[in-house]
Structure 1
Amino acid sequence: MQLNITKAIAGLSLVTVITSCSKNFINLPPVSNQTTATFFKTTSDFQQGVNAIYDGLQNTRSYGKSAYYLMEVRSDNTDILDRGALGGVASQIDLFTETTTNPFLTDVYAGAYLTISRANAVLDQIDAAAIPDSSKKQFRGEALFLRAFVYFDLVRLYGKVPLVTRVETTTESLNDKRNEVTEVYAQIEKDLQSAATLLPAVYTNVNDYGRVTAGSANGLLGKVYVTEKKWNDAATVLKNVNGYTLLADYAALYNPAAGLNAEVLFTIRFKKGLNPSEGNYYFTDMVPFSFYYNGVAYGGSNNNRPTHDIVSAYEAGDKRLIASLDTVSYKNATTTQPGNYVKKYLDPPGATGDGGSSFPVLRYADILLLQAEALNEQAYSAATGANTAFGFLNQVRRRAGLADKTPAELPNQASFRDAVFAERRVELAFENNRWFDLVRYSKGLAIMQAHLKNEYNLTTPALTPARLLFPIPQSEIDIHNDPANFPQNP
Structure 2
Amino acid sequence: MKFRYTTIYALFFLCCFTHCTKAILDKKDLGAVNESDVWKDNKLATAYVNKLYDDNLPGWNTSDAATSDEAPGGDAIMYGQLTINSFDLWSYSNIRNINILLKNIDGGTLPAATKDLLKGQAFFLRAWDYFGMVRLYGGVPLILEPQKITDNLEVPRDKTSACVAQMVADLDNAAKLLPASWTGDDLGRVTKGAALALKGRILLYYASPQFNPANDAVRWQNAYAANKMAREVLEAAGAGLYDKFANIWFDEMNKEVVFVNRYAYPDKVNDWNAATRPLSEAQNATGANHPTLEMVNAFPMKDGRPITDPAAGYDPVHYWKNRDPRFAATIAYNGCPWELSGKAGRRQWNYVGAETQFLSETGFYCKKAVDVSYSRFFTYNSSTDWVEIRFAEVLMNLAECANETGNTSEAYEILKLIRKRAGIEAGGDNLYGMKPGMNTDAMRDAIRLERKIEFAYEGKRYWDLRRWKLFEKELNGKVRHGLVITLLIPQNEFSKIQDTVNLDQNYSQYFKDSLVAVDKVFKVDFKSNYYFYPINTTHLELNGNLKQTNGWDGGAFDPLQ
Q: TM-score, normalised by structure 2?
A: 0.70
Give the 3 Å change call, closer, same or farther, for CA 42–398 of structure 1 in structure 2.
same
**CA-atom RMSD in angstroms:** 3.3
Stretches of structure 2 lacking an aligned partner (at least 5 in a row): 17-28, 208-218, 302-322, 352-359, 426-430, 482-517, 553-561
- Aligned to 2:350, the other structure's residue is in SS state strand
Counterpart of 2:41 in structure 1: which amino acid?
Answer: T
CA shift digits 1:21-51 (9 cap, x unpaired): xxxxxxxxx9934574554331112211111
Of 315, 318, 328, the residue aligned with 2:324 is 318
- The separation in 2 between residues aligned to 1:31 and 1:182, in whole angstroms, is 46
Alignment of 1:47-446 (within 5 A): 47-57=46-56, 63-65=59-61, 69=63, 71-80=64-73, 91-102=75-86, 105-106=87-88, 109-110=89-90, 112-169=91-148, 172=151, 174-203=153-182, 205-229=183-207, 230-239=219-228, 240-241=232-233, 242=235, 243-255=238-250, 258-274=251-267, 278-288=268-278, 290-292=279-281, 298-316=283-301, 317-328=323-334, 336-338=349-351, 339=360, 340-347=364-371, 348=374, 350=377, 354-381=381-408, 383=409, 388-403=410-425, 404-405=431-432, 408-446=435-473
CA shift digits 1:226-249 (9 cap, x unpaired): 222222223323333323111111
Of 541, 546, 561, the residue aligned with 1:485 is 546
Aligned-pair CA distance for 1:415: 0.3
Aligned-pair CA distance for 1:356: 1.1
Are the aligned partners of 2:272 and 2:379 in contact in 1 as well (CA < 8 Å)?
no
Are the aligned partners of 2:72 and 2:519 in contact in 1 as well (CA < 8 Å)?
no
Aligned-pair CA distance for 1:364: 1.0
Counterpart of 1:50 in structure 2: which amino acid?
Answer: V
Aligned-pair CA distance for 1:251: 0.7
Task: Provide the aligned length of Structure 1 versus Structure 2.
Answer: 438
1:20 match: none
CA shift digits 1:172-193 (9 cap, x unpaired): 5841322221121111110111
Are the aligned partners of 1:77 and 1:310 in contact in 2 as well (CA < 8 Å)?
yes
Are the aligned partners of 2:540 and 2:546 in contact in 1 as well (CA < 8 Å)?
no
CA shift digits 1:384-430 (9 cap, x unpaired): xxxx2211111001111224357854520000011011101111112
Aligned-pair CA distance for 1:465: 2.1
Question: Larger Rg: 1 or 2?
Answer: 2
Are the aligned partners of 1:327 and 1:341 in contact in 2 as well (CA < 8 Å)?
yes
Give the 3 Å change call, closer, same or farther, for CA 477–345 of structure 1 in structure 2.
farther
Aligned-pair CA distance for 1:148: 0.9
Give the 3 Å change call, closer, same or farther, for CA 417–6 of structure 1 in structure 2.
farther
Aligned-pair CA distance for 1:321: 2.0
Counterpart of 1:397 in structure 2: which amino acid?
Answer: R
Q: TM-score, normalised by structure 1?
A: 0.79
Aligned-pair CA distance for 1:371: 1.6
Are the aligned partners of 2:475 and 2:524 in contact in 1 as well (CA < 8 Å)?
no
- The separation in 1 between residues aligned to 2:476 and 2:181, in whole angstroms, is 45
Are the aligned partners of 1:57 and 1:64 in contact in 2 as well (CA < 8 Å)?
no
Counterpart of 2:247 in structure 1: which amino acid?
Answer: A
Counterpart of 2:529 in structure 1: which amino acid?
Answer: A
Stretches of structure 1 lacking an aligned partner (at least 5 in a row): 16-29, 81-89
CA shift digits 1:244-284 (9 cap, x unpaired): 111111011011xx23110111111111223xxx1123223
2:528 match: 465
Aligned-pair CA distance for 1:208: 1.1
- The separation in 2 between residues aligned to 1:223 and 1:334, in whole angstroms, is 39
Q: For structure 1, which segment, 370-379 or 351-360, has the greater mean C-alpha deviation from structure 2 after superposition?
A: 351-360
Counterpart of 2:246 in structure 1: which amino acid?
Answer: A
Are the aligned partners of 1:359 and 1:431 in contact in 2 as well (CA < 8 Å)?
no
Counterpart of 1:209 in structure 2: which amino acid?
Answer: L
Instruction: Determine what percentage of the aligned residue pairs are the same residue.
Output: 26
Give the 3 Å change call, closer, same or farther, for CA 34–354 of structure 1 in structure 2.
same
- The separation in 1 between residues aligned to 2:275 and 2:480, in whole angstroms, is 25
Give the 3 Å change call, closer, same or farther, for CA 6–323 of structure 1 in structure 2.
farther
- The separation in 2 between residues aligned to 1:160 and 1:428, in whole angstroms, is 27
Are the aligned partners of 1:53 and 1:118 in contact in 2 as well (CA < 8 Å)?
yes
Aligned-pair CA distance for 1:8: 9.0
Give the 3 Å change call, closer, same or farther, for CA 368–351 of structure 1 in structure 2.
closer
1:32 and 2:31 correspond: yes
Give the 3 Å change call, closer, same or farther, for CA 51–301 of structure 1 in structure 2.
same
- The separation in 2 between residues aligned to 1:279 and 1:369, in whole angstroms, is 30
Counterpart of 1:326 in structure 2: which amino acid?
Answer: A
Counterpart of 2:540 in structure 1: which amino acid?
Answer: I
1:474 match: 537
